[in-house]
Amino acid sequence: MGYSDQRFNVNLSILFTELPLLERPAAAAAAGFTAIELWWPWVDAPTPEQSELDALKQAIEDAGVQLVGLNFYAGQLPGPDRGALSIPGEESEKFRANLSVAADFAKSLGCTALNALYGNRVEGVDPATQDELALENLVLAAREADRVGAILLIEALNKPESPLCPIVSAPKAIETVDKVNAATGLGNAKFLMDLYHLSMNGEDLPSVIAAYADKTGHVQIADNPGRGAPGTGSLPLEGLLDQLKKTGYEGWVGLEYKAADAAASFEWLPREARAAR
């Protein structure tokens, strides 16, 4: 067991950001990885020019890496936003406009997981109104994901860093997953279990894994404190991933941590364990 028994991918929206976007897939491949994920890369453009989509697709294909996860449009990320789908008006409209674009892009690269970030509470808007809009948009997202053979991921963030986001615990994310699946009948909404966010919330990680592994579609890791590479903080990430594996989780583990020099930050993971099997 241990790290050598996992299927890791690199999140190119947080690692290798010292490089231009189109150079990052090759950098991940040069570091020994064969799989990547991305937040929506165009923070100002839910519907970018086709030439931009084509250029990114080409860069991923040329690098020989597999795209395994992609966010729908989520506003300024990184930045002040935590998603767009629960925000009435322009942001919700941008999210809807992005759905088919993101789904088609994912399909073109064989990516089967799409993450829909909920968004922050908005001052002066009734939370119930936001939640109603959110469910409408998550249903649309689940249908788009299903159209391209993908799952829809719903992620719990952490309250200290995302105080205005209402999904800041594993149970709240699972409740949302269940609501979406009940509304669509598709069963393709899954939990995105980010062990860093859950630890920042003070949640009992072994209990979360035991309770929700069967509803988990994707996992992300960073150490805590600091959101750095495994071994820079105090989280027992290797043991937690072993526990996940023993529950039957066979999915991806996204490396979503901060590092000034991405290539130098992978020393905790033997090179032969970086290529996904």
Catalytic annotation, residues: 155, 256
Of 25, 36, 2, the closest CA to residue 269 belongs to 2
User: SS3 for 54?
Assistant: helix
Name 218's bridge partners.
192
Q: How far is CA 218 from CA 69, 71, 153, 251, in A?
A: 8, 12, 7, 6
Q: Which stretch of DSSP H or E encloses residue 182?
A: helix 170-184
What's the half-sphere exposure (Cβ side, CA atoms, 13 Å) at 240? 23
Q: Is 138 left (phi over 0), alpha (psi -120 to 50) or beta?
A: alpha
Q: What Cα–Cα distance (Å) separates residue 268 from each residue in 65, 161, 263?
A: 21, 26, 12
How many of the other CB atoms lie within 10 Å of CB of 272? 8
Q: Are 195 and 237 in contact (CB under 8 A)?
A: yes
Calpha distance 143→276 (Å, rounded)? 29
- Distance of alpha carbon 79 from the chain centroid: 16
Strand partners, 151: 113
